[in-house]
Structure 1
Amino acid sequence: MALDDNHVVSGIREALSHSYVPHGHRARVRHRNHMAVPWHEVTDCDDMLAVDADLDDKSSIICRAGLLLLAGGTGSWRVRDCMNKIADVLGVTISAAVSLTTIECTCIDGHTSFSEVISLHTTGVNTERIRLMEQFTREVQARGDTFTVREFHDRMDKIEHTPGNYAPWAVGLASAAACAAFVFLLGGGPIEMGCAFVGAGLGNFVRRIMLDRRLTHFVCIGVAVAVACLAYLGCLSLLSLAIPGALEHEAGYIGAMLFVIPGFPLITSGLDIAKLDFRSGLERLAYAVAVIIVATLVAWLVAMMVELSPDEFTDQGLSDAVVLALRLVASFVGVFGFSMMFNSTLEMAATAGVVGAIANTLRLTLVDFAAMPPEAAAFVGATSAGLLASVVASRMSFPRISITVPSIVIMVPGLYMYRAVYYMGVFQTLDAMEWIIRAVMIILFLPMGLGLARALTDPDWRYCS
């Protein structure tokens, strides 16, 4: 849902522009499915101290703050925590139900109550928004009793209208680097990495352009995956003109599409379920599964048309010491790139990159040199990432989720998920079941590891209330 007054005015102008239709002609008027909320127009007493304002004005402040934080992609526990803190300053009690895109909130003041429902028109991830809202919440706790209703909304206007940190080309470049690093961690070599770099960069650039134009979410995902896979094949075909046998490196096309894997909602769904927020957790899980299905099915269709197959990567023949060093570098680059895709600042992305490099390299080392099952190693890696992020976030005033989730997104088994769908498509049922079970096991252990680390280090999160 767009929340600024300019969108309301533009919507009215658009409707007026279609108000006159010549006789014999038909014109289609586009109406907003999610109507914009003019926050400054629904308040009764802009210049009154918020603590003395009417209950509906207090509710608008609390709900808008929760909606802004929800738009950043964080889980329901953190959204409710923010709303509770602001409600406490305003002297009211709230009961809120939070889902993936909707907040239902009832504000209670003595014998009076006021309820409202607000929603987003889409979902996404914006860690910079989360950071700004945490700063805003701390400011409200410190001196919110001196703010007028207008001052509350003015501050939230500033947060809402803060532009993204990166242009579409920069986001495309970040995803290109992240996916190329991902391909190396999966076992790919220079050819696969280079082609995945081109494919992922073009694919995510196209997706970002389409999202900026507010095109349908899943259409953006499908088109981006198709562009990424075809760009990988085109790059590979060009390389084959100069490098004999280049077309044998087709397995890396999977890495070119991994930028669409919804690691953030997958992880936060597990954390929400751990806190018994089943509505939010299950909606996030359903959204993540829907994205995975759309992405993998489109990739499968492209693979069938151009005869690509997800074969095993060729062994690169590197020594253990070299592999360890390169894994540290690749893990840092991968997490750094994914963090930029989540709109983290460079400082936040670098911090997440260091945490992810340590945790992911530990995970891979346990699998290769300690013969630990990949599922158990994922649990250890996620727990270590959560513990490291707890130490770092407290010292650098970064939102914990902006460090933890990007650092383990690189552990999400996108390759396993795609192979499961691919083998379903060619009716190799046993292979499909093997890959999907392995993927599900790892996905389940990732939020479990983060949840354990959170319970050990965060007293507020540790208890039910």
Structure 2
Amino acid sequence: MQQTNFTDIMEKNHMEIPWHDYTQNNGNILINQAGLIEKASVIGRVGLIMLSCGTGAWRVRTSMNRLSKSLGVTCTVDVGLMSIEFNCFDGKDCVSQSLSIANTGVNTSKLYRMEQFVDSFPKEEVHLTGEEIHKRLDEIERIHAIYSPVKLGLAAALACCAFTFLLGGGPVEMILAFLCAGIGNVIRTKLIKHNFTLFLNIAVSISCSCLLYSILLKLAEILFHVSALHEAGYICSILFIIPGFPFITSGIDLSKLDLRSGLERLSYSIIIVLVATMTAWIMALLLHLQPLNFTTLNLDPILLLILRLLTSFCGVFGFSIMFNSPVKMAAIAAVMGALSNTLRLELVDLTGMPTTAAAFIGALTAGLLASLIKNYNGYPRISLTVPSIVIMVPGLYLYRAFYNLGTMSLVDAFSWGAAAIMIIIALPLGLIFARIFTDRTFRYCS
């Protein structure tokens, strides 16, 4: 075993696990003939990588169970947001392990590769040694961000620009949101890359976006005589921070009674929203910005429909790239999002349907489309559904609720907050029922 200096290990708060040490004594023995500890190391590592991709407890447990069945092991698993506790026993011995990740995030590219690994395990990897399997997992773990910070900034810029139009903003707000969200997400990505803590990267990136929006709007007023009424768009420049993945996966986990994971993910989402909205509120006070209503665009209904399809596509594509999806996967999610989100908006406008019910139908549509597509190309449902409905998450409502709470306009705060909560509840419900309708394994609680 390679000797490692103790002080080098303790530089990280979460010590790295020497996975290959579990296999060095039995390097020529196939994994299905190896000892329980070696088998448990493979099962646990697969679950931990799945967890690091941002997927929910049900998918993590299902993947670990499939490996356990192939290896002749019984496995019981308890999954949280950033940790897994599990027991493996084979009728003779029992191994208990507690594993954790240093930080949580979303990586749909790695998730897709892991699902391929789990699907192929009974036919391929089960005939390899533990050392060979861990080498394959090493390669998968090295799949970090497949896009540079600049490209991720452009993705956030595109998403927030599209989000601005869908919320009612015009060309001025869209241009400013594009620039400010892009720069804000570049800063956020850089901070994440250097392992800065969650609160710091949220506060700094949101502050920079708000400050830049205020500066650019003032320059536009001076140089191009743009009205100050366009300041409402500053809210759209911070919507890249919306925790869509944990919001949705928390609802899915709660539906399967994975209360620990569901509540932890929900708490994580609420923390992000609170820190982001408080930072934006403080910046609004300092910069004298107000969340006013957007000016009416008065577009022809057919033109509005076309623009909604186009901007919904662009918005979902941008968010999907931010989740580290390959371009093809992002484009498929964008088509789904364009159809489901435009359907949601048209139902509200043409039928007067409450926004909560329309959000449910939009999410249900996205979930059904994802099931059809998975049967065709095998992409993980969650990698398609979450980006396609993130654009439906009411970030504007959440911010206005907090802003009015800060100014003690309690009636307005409650109104915006209640509307946001209802929509946030409706979105995972739509995906859950789509999954119930199309997936037998999800339909039961065995």
Q: Same fold (TM over 0.5)?
A: yes
* Residues 1:385 and 2:366 aligned together: yes
Tell me, in whole angstroms, the C-alpha distance in 1 between the residues paired with 2:403 and 2:412.
10
Superposed, 1:215-230 pairs within 5 Å as 215-230=196-211
Match of 1:398 among 374, 379, 388: 379
Percent of counterpart pairs with the same letter?
Answer: 49
Take 1:307 and 1:299, find their aligned partners in 2: how far apart are those partners? Answer: 11
How many Å separate the matches in 1 of 2:378 and 2:11? 42
- Aligned counterparts, 1:19-58, within 5 A: 31-43=11-23, 44-58=25-39
Match of 2:80 among 93, 99, 102: 99
Structure 1 residue 237: Cα displacement: 1.5
Show the 5 A alignment for 1:45-84. 45-84=26-65
Task: Give, as a single letter, the amino acid of the residue that structure 1 aligns with 2:260.
Answer: R
Q: Is the 8 A contact 1:263 1:409 kept in 2?
A: yes
The correspondence of residues 325-404 of structure 1 with structure 2, limited to 5 A, is: 325-404=306-385
Confirm or deny: 8 A CA contact 1:393 1:403 kept in the other structure: no
Q: Which residue of 2 aligns with 1:443?
A: 424
Name the counterpart of 2:262. Answer: 281
List 4+ stretches of structure 1 deviating above 4 A.
11-15
CA distance in 2 between partners of 1:215 and 1:145 (Å): 39
Q: What is the root-mean-square deviation of aligned Cα atoms in Å?
A: 1.4
1:27-55 CA deviation, whole Å, 9 max, x = no partner? xxx73211111111233423211111111
8 Å Cα contact 1:191-1:246 kept in structure 2: no
Among 148, 161, 175, the alignment partner of 1:180 is 161
Look up the equivalent residue of 2:142 and give its one-letter code: H
CA contact under 8 A between 1:258 and 1:414: conserved in structure 2? yes
* 1:211 positional shift: 0.4
Q: Summarize deviations over 1:284-318 as a string: whole Å, max 9, x none.
A: 00000000000000000000000001000000111
Distance in 1, matches of 2:294 and 2:272, equals 26
Cα offset for 1:213? 0.4
Unpaired runs of 5+ residues, structure 1, are: 16-29
The SS at the match of 2:223 is: coil
Contact kept, 8 Å, 2:107 with 2:144, in 1: the verdict is no
Q: Indicate which of 405, 408, 418 corresponds to 2:399.
A: 418
Partner of 1:240: 221
1:321 to 291, 299, 302: 302
Alignment of 1:198-277 (within 5 A): 198-277=179-258
CA deviation after TM superposition for structure 1 residue 243, in Å: 2.4
Distance (whole Å) between structure 2 residues aligned to residue 45 and residue 314 of structure 1: 70
Cα drift, residue 269 of structure 1: 0.2
Deviation, structure 1 residue 147 = 1.0
Residue type matched to 1:261 in 2? I
Give the structure 2 partner of residue 124 of structure 1. Answer: 105
Deviation at 1:13, TM superposition (A): 7.2
- Residue 163 of structure 1 deviates from its aligned partner by 3.7
Q: How far, CA to CA, are the matches of 1:145 and 1:166 in structure 2?
A: 33
| Amino acid in structure 2 at the alignment position of 1:424 | L
Q: Residue 398 of structure 2 aligns to which amino acid in structure 1?
A: M
The residue identity in structure 2 corresponding to 1:42 is: Y
* SS of equivalent to 1:416: helix
The 2-side partners of 1:62 and 1:72 are apart by 16
1:108-123 residue pairs with structure 2 within 5 A?
108-123=89-104
Classify the secondary structure of the residue corresponding to 1:241.
helix
2:220–2:226 contact (8 Å) kept in structure 1: no
The amino acid that maps onto 1:74 is T
- Name the residue aligned to 2:439: 458
Q: CA deviation at 1:389?
A: 1.0
The yes-or-no answer on 1:161 pairing with 2:132 is no
Partner-residue secondary structure (3-state), 1:95: strand
On the 8 A contact 1:106/1:115 being kept in 2, the answer is yes
CA deviations 1:6-42 (Å, max 9, x no partner) are 9x96x75747xxxxxxxxxxxxxx7321111111123
Deviation at 1:227, TM superposition (A): 0.8
Q: Determine helix, strand or coil for the equivalent of 1:142.
A: coil
Note the alpha carbon deviations across 1:190-224, whole angstroms, 9 max, x for none. Answer: 00000000110010000000000011112101111
Deviations 1:416-438 (A, max 9, x none): 00000000111100000000000
Pairing partner for 1:190 from 171, 177, 180? 171
The aligned counterpart of 2:280 is: 299
Q: Secondary structure at the match of 2:105?
A: coil
Identify if the C-alpha distance between structure 1 residues 163 and 122 changes in structure 2 by more than 3 Å, giving closer, same or farther. Answer: closer
CA distance in 2, matches of 1:14, 1:105: 28
- Equivalents in 2 of 1:243, 1:326: separation in Å? 26
| Amino acid across the alignment from 1:288 | S
* Amino acid aligned to 2:397: Y
1:51-80 deviation per Cα after TM superposition (whole angstroms, max 9, x unaligned)? 111111111100000000110000000000
For residues 300-343 of structure 1, give each alpha carbon's deviation from its aligned partner in whole angstroms, at most 9, with x where no partner exists: 00000000010000001111111100000000000000000000
| Cα offset, 1:145, TM superposition | 2.7
- Write out per-residue CA displacement over residues 116-170 of structure 1, whole angstroms, 9 at most, x where no aligned residue: 0000111000000110000111121222331100111011000001242100000
Aligned counterparts of 1:47 and 1:312: Cα–Cα separation in 2? 68
Q: Is the 8 A contact 1:198 1:235 kept in 2?
A: no
- The TM-score normalised by the length of structure 2 is 0.98
Q: Distance in 2 between matches of 1:433 and 1:385?
A: 29
